[in-house]
Amino acid sequence: MSDISDDADPAEIPDRPEIDAIPAGGDASLGFRVRDREFSGHRPEPALYLVATPIGHLSDITLRALEVIGGADRLACEDTRVTATLLSRYGIKRRMTPYHEHNAEESGAGLLAELVAGKSVALVSDAGTPLVSDPGFRLVGQAIEAGIPVIPIPGASAVMAALLASGLPSDAFFFAGFTPQKQGARRARLTELTRIPGTLVLFEAPHRIADALADMATVFGADRPAAVCRELTKAYETIYRGTLSALAAEFAAMERVRGEIVVCIAPPPAEAAASFEDTDAILTGLLQEMKPTQAAQEAARLTGLPRRDLYARALALKAPR
């Protein structure tokens, strides 16, 4: 999005320096290959680079990302086997350092030490943009605290791809990551999201998608428009659109669901957003004198809303924050 209007006077538009995607010269040993063309690479300035990688289609990589991946002093990745496929595609030969949720403390300390010593570190995830539902947040915080520049290298994102393909409003949206595995916790979390005045974007595992959609239909309403985006940018990319109840029934009838899944749910109606606040006020007052079970029962009598949904919300309101 540009902040320059279409009718702006060209004389008043500030000059913007032109930046070559691939600067001239460079080191062939740091380079990469795109189809039949070889590019020399460059060593990036010392910093922590957060590099977005394709979420499926390997061509969805930027030239800047390839140059940083090939030229950084250290390449940290979630799974070396996955990243190796990307490196092979673009003729990049280099060592990789595993960095994932199970070794984040130990590996992160080593990466931070290199950054403090003036090295450049490129951080990539298995797919998409680092820090979005995968490790890396702690390292970024430590780097910032140490005065290390943190530079995003933008690119593919499953969140944005799904939002665009869903056909749902995109002027305001909220990314909520993965939902809890157990039904009670999942419904409680979904209930917390009912007041979000924008499109919801969530990740879901294929073996849980049918149950998750059924819970979403219960919490958000059977007629709420939604979209289930599966295998985005891949050969079997499929976008399912409809109401939550219809989508829940469709996925329940499938023998097996495979692939990466993103769910987008339309914003609540304006009147529903107001009623959520009223319901919370009622539950908050009742919880001062009652247990969650009793509060939910009384709130159901007062509002006419389902008791089980109110109980899930009561638990969320009572949980320590």
Q: Are residues 203 and 120 in the same domain?
A: no
Give the domain range for residue 109.
Answer: 26-153
Classify residue 31: in a domain, yes or no: yes
CB 213 within 8 A of CB 251: yes
In this structure, what are the phi and psi dihedrals at residue 49, rounded to the nearest 5 degrees? -105, 125
Indicate the residue among 95, 121, 153 that finishes a domain: 153
Closest by alpha carbon to 214, among 196, 226, 197? 226
Q: How many helices (H) and strands (E) does the chain have?
A: 11, 12
Q: Are residues 113 and 125 in the same domain?
A: yes
Instruction: Specify the DSSP element, H or E, that contains 121.
Output: strand 121-124
Interval 303-312 mean pLDDT: 79
CB 95 within 8 A of CB 86: no
For the residues of 127-178, what is the DSSP string, one character each? SBSTTSSSS-HHHHHHHHHTT--EEEE----HHHHHHHHH-S--SSEEEEEE
Pick the range with the lowest mean pLDDT from 84-88, 161-165, 234-238, 304-308.
304-308
pLDDT on residue 269: 79
Classify residue 206: in a domain, yes or no: yes
Q: Are residues 293 and 264 in the same domain?
A: no
- β-pairing, 121-124 with 48-51? parallel
The letter for the amino acid at 174 is: F
pLDDT on residue 285: 80
Q: Are residues 305 and 222 in the same domain?
A: no
Q: Are residues 255 and 140 in the same domain?
A: no
Q: Are residues 263 and 278 in the same domain?
A: no
Classify residue 30: in a domain, yes or no: yes
Q: Are residues 98 and 119 in the same domain?
A: yes
For residues 193 and 153, the model is more confident at 153
pLDDT on residue 10: 44
This prediction has a pTM of 0.77
Tens digits of residue pLDDT in 47-82 = 999 999 999 999 999 999 999 999 999 999 989 999
For residues 183 and 282, the model is more confident at 183
For the residues of 200-240, what is the DSSP string, one character each? EEEEE-GGGHHHHHHHHHHHH-TT-EEEEEESTTSTT-EEE
Specify the DSSP class assigned to residue 40: E
Distances (CA, A) of 63 to 23, 196, 197, 222, 267: 11, 37, 37, 44, 36
Classify residue 222: in a domain, yes or no: yes
What are all long-range contacts of 94-97, with beta carbons under 8 Å and residues at least 24 apart? 94/70
Return the percent helix, strand and coil in the chain, to nearest 5: 40, 20, 40
Closest by alpha carbon to 50, among 116, 148, 145? 148
Classify residue 2: in a domain, yes or no: no
pLDDT on residue 6: 45
Say what percent of the chain tops pLDDT 70. 88
Interval 274-289 mean pLDDT: 76
Here the tokens at position 181 are 């595995």
Classify residue 279: in a domain, yes or no: yes
Classify residue 278: in a domain, yes or no: yes
Q: Are residues 180 and 204 in the same domain?
A: yes
Indicate the residue among 153, 174, 204 that finishes a domain: 153
- The CATH number given to whatever domain includes residue 39 is 3.40.1010.10
For residues 6 and 319, the model is more confident at 319
pLDDT on residue 262: 98
Q: Are residues 42 and 114 in the same domain?
A: yes
Q: Are residues 177 and 252 in the same domain?
A: yes
Mean residue pLDDT across the chain = 87
Tens digits of residue pLDDT in 101-160 = 888 888 999 999 999 999 999 999 989 998 876 678 889 999 999 999 999 999 999 999
Q: Are residues 105 and 165 in the same domain?
A: no
Q: Are residues 230 and 310 in the same domain?
A: no
Over 60: is that where the pLDDT of 22 sits?
no
CB 111 within 8 A of CB 76: yes
- The CATH number given to whatever domain includes residue 202 is 3.30.950.10
Q: How many structural domains are present in the chain?
A: 3
Pick the range with the lowest mean pLDDT from 22-26, 285-289, 299-303.
22-26
Indicate the residue among 131, 153, 175 that finishes a domain: 153
Classify residue 64: in a domain, yes or no: yes
